[in-house]
Structure 1
Amino acid sequence: MQSVAVIDYGMGNLHSVERALRHEAPPGTQIVLTDDLAVIRDADRLVFPGQGAAADAMQALRSLGLDTVLPELAATRPFLGMCLGQQILLDWSAENDGVDLLGVIPGKVERFPGHAIDSAGRRLKIPHMGWNVVRQVQDHPLWQGLPREPWFYFVHSYRVLPTRAEDVVGETDYGDPFASVIARGSMFAMQCHPEKSAADGLRLLNNFLRWDGAWR
């Protein structure tokens, strides 16, 4: 029986993530919503969601002892970051006057520029909220069975800017293209919410629950 830990550090509504995973889980899969460091360490797979401010998230992770553990765990087993759980994997965020993050992926997090416009010249609203296309820019096992440009649901004001192009596996246009999906080894992280993204999101979660963590 495989175990999947959904990491609960008090940031966001995690029950919708838990329900979506249960819907797609193979028989015999144990899915647990937890902040217990021992349970998280022992899990076969980790899901790292999140909503809210980067500074609050990092404070919560430090209080649970997860700030030093997560980089190690993300490199040793299938690991799925979502929304704020993607941003926290980078080095630094401009949010809250500047916040040091986990440093799993080199790069920074910045707010969308206030002057961004769409293809028709209209000013774009911040936050970026609603459905948008994720354009696959690299093959990855979690894209299996999905169209080349699947639709996912987004709610965010900040975007990740990875240093290395090879860490970007999906891009989305909002004014300019931004890295909506990043990956390295056994870690895969999305700015969007697969648990709120209908059939495409559920298919991605299904793929994650069956992925052996191998990539490149």
Structure 2
Amino acid sequence: MITAIVDYNSGNLRSAEKSFQRMASEVGGGDIIVTDDPDQVRRADRVVLPGVGAFADCRSELGAINGLFGAIEDKVKAGNPFLGICVGMQMMATWGREHGNHTGFDWIKGEVVALTPNDPALKIPHMGWNSLNQTPDHPVFDGISAGDHMYFVHSYHLVPENPEDIVATVDYGGDIIAAVGRDNIIGTQFHPEKSQATGLRLIGNFLKWAP
């Protein structure tokens, strides 16, 4: 069993790699590799797409590595489990509206738009701990309850067209999307690798998930 964490120059992947390795050893999740090689992605059993920074920059970097975008698409179409983290989740959308209009994978119909909290005292970016308002049950959220805290750093969020694609929200001057998913794909706006025990549980759940 191999989980590929995709490296496309989107930031420091060390904390994600360490968290996934730790949980893989605890739950029997196999090997964790960090790679930008499309062939290694195609050979993997699970794919994790992290990301920090602006949607436009991450989309450009992902497209600049020959064959990588297509390799990720192929794995999702084949039914392999996929986890997008932060901008990696935003890439699941149809459009990103940060610094222009940019296409995503179009797996979750919707767009990535700027946060607009209804309380002017709330700062952007949304940075720090926030408690989840969980909606539908999902295996990757097994043992994680409404009120549990996750760590966020973002100024944009994915707004799905279909409410059924929403897995969890948080309140930050109104509901913002914390997680989306359907079929074999799941995405979190928060960083599970920075969310202590609750985030590690989510990572372990993902490594055991058989959609």
TM-score by length of structure 1 reads 0.91
> 2: distance between equivalents of 1:132 and 1:209?
24
Please give the per-residue CA displacement for 1:21-44, whole angstroms capped at 9, x wherever unaligned: 111113471110000000001101
Please give the per-residue CA displacement for 1:158-188, whole angstroms capped at 9, x wherever unaligned: 0111000010010111111022100011101
Runs of 4+ off more than 3 Å: none
* Alpha-carbon contact 1:58-1:67 (below 8 Å) kept: no
What is the aligned partner in structure 2 of residue 108 from structure 1?
Answer: 111
What is the aligned partner in structure 2 of residue 61 from structure 1?
Answer: 62
Runs of at least 5 residues in structure 1 that lack an aligned partner in the other structure: none
Please give the per-residue CA displacement for 1:77-107, whole angstroms capped at 9, x wherever unaligned: 1111100001111011110122222211100
User: What's the offset of the Cα at 1:53?
Assistant: 1.4
> 1: distance between equivalents of 2:40 and 2:158?
29
Q: Secondary structure at the match of 1:97?
A: coil
Partner letter of residue 191 of structure 2? H
What is the aligned partner in structure 2 of residue 19 from structure 1?
Answer: 18
What is the aligned partner in structure 2 of residue 161 from structure 1?
Answer: 159
Given the alignment of the two structures, is residue 79 of structure 1 paired with residue 74 of structure 2, yes or no? Answer: no
Instruction: Check 1:171–1:62 CA distance in 2 against 1; reply closer, same or farther (3 A cut).
Output: same
What is the aligned partner in structure 2 of residue 132 from structure 1?
Answer: 130
Given the alignment of the two structures, is residue 149 of structure 1 paired with residue 147 of structure 2, yes or no? Answer: yes
> 2: distance between equivalents of 1:147 and 1:56?
34
* Alpha-carbon contact 2:42-2:72 (below 8 Å) kept: no
> 1: distance between equivalents of 2:72 and 2:101?
21
Given the alignment of the two structures, is residue 43 of structure 1 paired with residue 41 of structure 2, yes or no? Answer: no
Runs of at least 5 residues in structure 2 that lack an aligned partner in the other structure: none
Percentage of matched positions with identical amino acids: 40
